[in-house]
Amino acid sequence: MSINQSIFIEKSVGKNGINQPFDVEIIKKQLNAQMPVSYSRLMINGTCDSNTIDTIIDFQKKVLGFRQPDGRVDPNGKTLLALNDPVSSVKWNKNSNQVINGQWTGDSSRWSQTKKLQSLNPVFRVKVQNVLDALTQRGFQPKIFFGWRSVSVQQELFNKGRSKVRFSFHNAQNTDGTPNAYAADIIDKRWGWEKKAEDNGFWSALGEEAKKQGLVWGGDWTSFKDVAHIQGRQNSELAKTKQESGL
């Protein structure tokens, strides 16, 4: 996608912004044009969702060097000026490629939605984004609770009886130790795992949309139902995935 060097918005877009639909579409298109190829593209519509805000924050950090990014694009502001500059694409790509293992530490359930998406295997990531977009179109407010998670966290879940395995598709990684997860836990941010999620049809909708993408839905399992869980590989491939991860 080519970069438009003269975009204009009437009102602010992003966190605590006015978020006029046509302004939001303009910013989303420009972010998609500027962002690194490894990133999942934003769905072009007039809704300023959490992914949009996270992407603006990521742009402000890596391109503008903001220590405290506000997640908002203002008319004639620094962020808008940078979005109009083709050089920003080079900066964003360069700084995003400078990934070190230390960036993947901490509680991964608290990472931003953008970072959780980036922790997924690239092919699986596209399918997860499609699931999120489809659920949003159906009126839900989906978010990733877990993308990648460490083996130590997996062990804790196993010890608490919240997982049947010591290694899961959540733990998959590249040979350099960076995340490459084949699993994601998705919830509606209004309900989490409360009964309201089931009563409002979220889990069944998640299963439907996941299977449309050719993914496995944990809600279909009989021995251990995991309604929030979707994965990009069959359970029979778990040992292979662990070996590929060097674990």
pLDDT of residue 102: 59
pLDDT tens, residue by residue, 128-173: 999 999 999 999 999 999 999 988 888 888 888 888 888 999 999 9
pLDDT tens, residue by residue, 12-67: 999 999 999 999 999 999 999 998 876 778 899 999 999 899 999 999 999 999 99
pLDDT of residue 193: 96
Q: In the predicted model, is pLDDT for residue 101 greater than 60?
A: no
pLDDT of residue 100: 46
Average pLDDT of span 200-221: 98
Does residue 141 contact residue 189 with C-beta atoms inside 8 Å? yes
Portions of the chain given CATH number 3.30.1380.10: 104-244
Q: What percent of the chain has pLDDT over 70?
A: 95
Q: In terms of Cα–Cα distance, which of 171, 168, 169 is closest to 182?
A: 169
Q: Write the CA distances from 192 to 63, 141, 154, 183, 233, integer angstroms.
A: 34, 10, 20, 18, 24
Q: In the predicted model, is pLDDT for residue 73 greater than 60?
A: yes
CATH class belonging to 104-244:
alpha beta
Quick one: 223 exposed, middle or buried, by C-beta within 10 A (0-12, 13-18, 19+)? exposed
